[in-house]
């Protein structure tokens, strides 16, 4: 088992920007679109190096999604990027009809997802996008956990044929996934083996899940940690296999509990192998302004919350 | 017989197809379909450069058409079938279970000729622009055509697309608006007036042409004129003046038949006004 350690802090969006630049060099079909957030999405280098393959859509996301769909229909691989808020809810019908239903090879790449957007507050803190996107037939939904994994995911979705929603974030976060770690869409990664409880985490909650496992170890609880980077298609085998061993589950995500990854896992287990389950996520409320870490604490998304949920769920095992 | 006469005969048969299709399932949208029959017949049989037997989803090397007002699907299906994309007998499956001819056009059933789902309005112009830009990137000199309802122009995305196309010099696109001045709830100026549409599009940086959508020689003339002004760094829009329900006296010029099928008796009356020309499906 690899021991994971933090090698500095970087933002996941920069992983996207770096990978996009690499992809552009290797595949001429790759084009980029952005709705007046090129700097925030780290697409500046791509735009400068490939001006004829970069399209500034202005503050008009609905049109951007449609243009991306049209380009995909002609054989391009468009990466349409903006904030999570503007790349999901604002343009749901455009994504639904022109991208998902029409099965166009568009990569919707969104940054500033969740509470860690921080000071801008609830208007921009998208916490419902995973739910909206996972409900769409044909849509693949991915939420990587650090800079390196975002890079790997960006490369992987370019190879994948079909619509994808790739979600990442704003602040610098621990980098702990090895650069050369294989990334396969729909294939969860077991970061730590354990026998007492399964912790399934996605996105910015994966590192806190690892920290929680350390703390649980000190309390005599042996936790297994699964990095569920792909929300859809869900790696059901990984969940069943682990929970069969541990007998209980904690899910953790920077997303609304309604409609999130935890809900998908709860549904899976209810259908196939009922087991005690605790969910860490945002409980049916909007966010607010604050520093990312302050918000994660206030809304219950820290490693401590994950550890407490694990201790609780272990108690519920019969 | 002149080319225009042939097209007129085709358009008459297409109108019969539309009426019989919507009547058979007692649903669908005859009004707008009838109103655009002359235009779409001329476009597919006289203007566009395409090869139905070698249909490619990516449209590379051929002219591409997107129907943005997807509810006039009976018209599009009839023209596609008559043009040879699939058998005319398949028109009998329109709106029925397991059909490739969905109520609104879709790609998931693999119907040749359709490259994008439409029906939720306002999205087709953006899509056409995306295809047009891809053609430019690929050095493909063929053109992209799109058709939109006038009521559809009330969707904000249309104007986002209008801004984007002008700013990006999308000059290999010819968009046409079916300006019949009717929509579901009534006359367009009563539902929500669009005022001077020509001035609006021109203000958005488009080159605007106008034509009578029921005069086939004029349709061909204006479409050719539009082709001649492509490649000049300006997107092109044709305001096409039409009558909703054209060809059936009791349907003409009213919104009443926007989304309603005729009963047996009214179908007979309608078909008597549109004699069979190429043979019913």
Let me know whether A49 and A131 are in one domain. Answer: yes
**Contact status, residue B171 vs residue B188, Cβ threshold 8 Å:** no
Let me know whether A140 and A29 are in one domain. Answer: yes
> Which of the listed residues A174, A202, A225 is the one where a domain comes to its end?
A174
Shortest Cα distance, chain A CAs vs residue B115, angstroms: 7
Say what the pLDDT of residue A3 is. 83
Q: What is the ipTM of this complex?
A: 0.96
Q: Which two tokens stand for residue B225?
A: 């004129």
Q: How many domains does chain A have?
A: 2
Pick A67's closest partner by Cβ from B108, B129, B138: B129
Residues 6+ apart with CB under 8 A from B111: B77, B80, B85, B86, B100, B101, B105
A94-122 residue pLDDT tens: 999 999 999 999 999 999 999 999 999 99
Shortest Cα distance, chain B CAs vs residue A50, angstroms: 12
Let me know whether A127 and A204 are in one domain. Answer: no
CB contact under 8 A, B161 and A73: no
B102 and chain A in contact, CB less than 8 A? no
**A6 to A104, A163, B143: CA distances (angstroms):** 37, 32, 53
- Crossing angle of helices A61-73/B124-137, nearest 10°? 50
Q: Where are the domains of chain B?
A: 3-272
Strand order in the sheet with A189-192: A189-192, A223-227, A197-201, A249-256, A277-282
Let me know whether A309 and A239 are in one domain. Answer: yes
Let me know whether A118 and A216 are in one domain. Answer: no
In a domain, A89, yes or no: yes
- Residue range(s) defining the domain that contains residue A91: 9-174
A275-301 residue pLDDT tens: 999 999 999 999 999 999 999 999 999
- A159 has a pLDDT exceeding 90: yes
Residues 6+ apart with CB under 8 A from A273: A240, A243, A244
As assigned by CATH, the class of the B3-272 domain is alpha beta
In a domain, A137, yes or no: yes
| CATH assignment of the domain containing A204 | 3.40.50.920
Please state the rounded mean pLDDT for residues A15-28.
Answer: 98
Let me know whether A128 and A247 are in one domain. Answer: no
- A151 has a pLDDT exceeding 80: yes
A14, A250, A3: which is closest to A111 by C-alpha? A14
Which chain B residues are closer than 8 Å to A75 by Cβ?
58, 60, 134, 138
Say what the pLDDT of residue A1 is. 61
* Sign of the torsion angle spanned by Cα atoms B237, B238, B241, B242: negative
B138 and chain A in contact, CB less than 8 A? yes
B192 phi/psi in degrees, rounded to 5: -165, 105
A242-269 residue pLDDT tens: 999 999 999 999 999 999 999 999 999 9
Let me know whether A311 and A201 are in one domain. Answer: yes
Residue A22 among the catalytic residues: no
Measured CA to CA, the distance from residue A238 to residue A185 in angstroms comes to: 13
B96-140 residue pLDDT tens: 999 999 999 999 999 999 999 999 999 999 999 999 999 999 999
Is residue B4 very low, low, confident or very high in pLDDT (cuts 50, 70, 90)? confident
Chosen from A24, A57, A70 to mutate, greatest number of chain B CBs within 10 A:
A70
> Which of the listed residues A149, A174, A199 is the one where a domain comes to its end?
A174
Say what the pLDDT of residue A201 is. 99
């Amino acid at each position: 088992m690899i021991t994971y350690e933090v090698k500095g802090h970087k933002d996941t969006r920069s992983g996207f920007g770096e990978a996009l630049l690499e992809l552009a060099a290797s595949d001429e079909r790759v084009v980029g679109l952005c709705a007046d957030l090129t700097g925030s999405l780290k697409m500046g280098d791509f735009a400068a190096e490939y001006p004829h393959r970069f399209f500034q859509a202005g503050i008009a996301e609905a049109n951007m999604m449609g243009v991306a769909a049209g380009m995909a229909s002609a054989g391009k691989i468009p990466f349409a990027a903006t904030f999570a808020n503007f790349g999901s809810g604002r343009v749901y019908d455009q994504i639904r009809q022109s991208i998902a239903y029409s099965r166009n090879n568009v990569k919707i790449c969104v940054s500033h997802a969740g509470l860690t957007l921080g000071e801008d507050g609830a208007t921009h803190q998208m916490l419902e996008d995973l739910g909206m996107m996972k409900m769409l037939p044909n849509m693949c939904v991915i939420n990587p956990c650090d800079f390196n994994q975002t890079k790997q995911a960006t490369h992987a979705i370019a190879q994948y044929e079909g619509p994808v929603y790739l979600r990442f974030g704003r602040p610098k976060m621990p980098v702990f996934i090895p650069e050369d770690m294989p990334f396969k869409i729909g294939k969860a990664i077991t970061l730590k083996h354990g026998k007492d409880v399964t912790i399934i985490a996605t996105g910015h909650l994966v590192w806190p899940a690892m920290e929680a496992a350390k703390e649980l170890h000190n309390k005599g609880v042996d936790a297994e940690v699964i990095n569920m980077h792909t929300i859809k298609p869900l790696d059901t085998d990984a969940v069943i296999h682990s929970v069969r061993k541990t007998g209980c589950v904690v899910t953790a995500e920077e997303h609304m509990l309604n409609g999130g990854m935890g809900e998908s896992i709860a549904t899976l287990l209810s259908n196939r192998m009922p087991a005690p389950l605790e969910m860490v996520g945002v409980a049916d409320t909007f966010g607010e302004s604050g520093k990312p870490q302050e918000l994660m604490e206030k809304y219950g998304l820290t490693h401590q919350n994950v550890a407490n949920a694990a201790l609780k769920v272990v108690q519920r095992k019969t | 017989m002149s080319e225009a006469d042939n097209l007129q005969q085709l358009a008459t048969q297409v109108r019969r197809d539309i009426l019989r299709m919507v009547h058979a399932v007692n649903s669908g949208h005859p009004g707008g379909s009838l109103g655009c029959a002359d235009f779409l017949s001329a476009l597919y049989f006289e203007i566009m450069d395409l090869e139905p037997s070698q249909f490619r989803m990516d449209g590379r090397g051929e002219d591409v058409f997107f129907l943005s007002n997807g509810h006039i699907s009976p018209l599009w299906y009839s023209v596609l079938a008559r043009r040879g994309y699939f058998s005319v007998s398949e028109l009998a499956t329109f709106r029925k279970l397991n059909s490739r001819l969905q109520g609104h056009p879709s790609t998931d059933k693999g119907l040749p000729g359709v490259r994008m789902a439409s029906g939720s309005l306002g999205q087709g112009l953006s899509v056409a622009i995306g295809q047009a830009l891809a053609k430019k990137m690929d050095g493909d000199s063929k053109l992209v055509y799109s058709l939109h309802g006038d009521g559809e122009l009330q969707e904000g995305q249309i104007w986002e697309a209008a801004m984007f196309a002008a700013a990006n010099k999308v000059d290999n696109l010819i968009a046409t608006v079916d300006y019949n001045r009717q929509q579901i709830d009534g006359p367009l100026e009563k539902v929500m007036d669009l005022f001077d549409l020509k001035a609006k599009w021109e203000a958005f940086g488009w080159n605007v042409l106008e034509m009578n959508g029921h005069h086939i020689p004029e349709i061909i003339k204006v479409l050719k004129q539009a082709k001649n002004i492509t490649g000049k760094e300006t997107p092109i829009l044709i305001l096409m003046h039409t009558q909703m329900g054209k060809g059936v006296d009791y349907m003409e010029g009213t919104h009443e038949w926007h989304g309603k099928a005729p009963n047996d008796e009214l179908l007979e009356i309608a078909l008597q006004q549109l004699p069979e020309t190429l043979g019913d499906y």
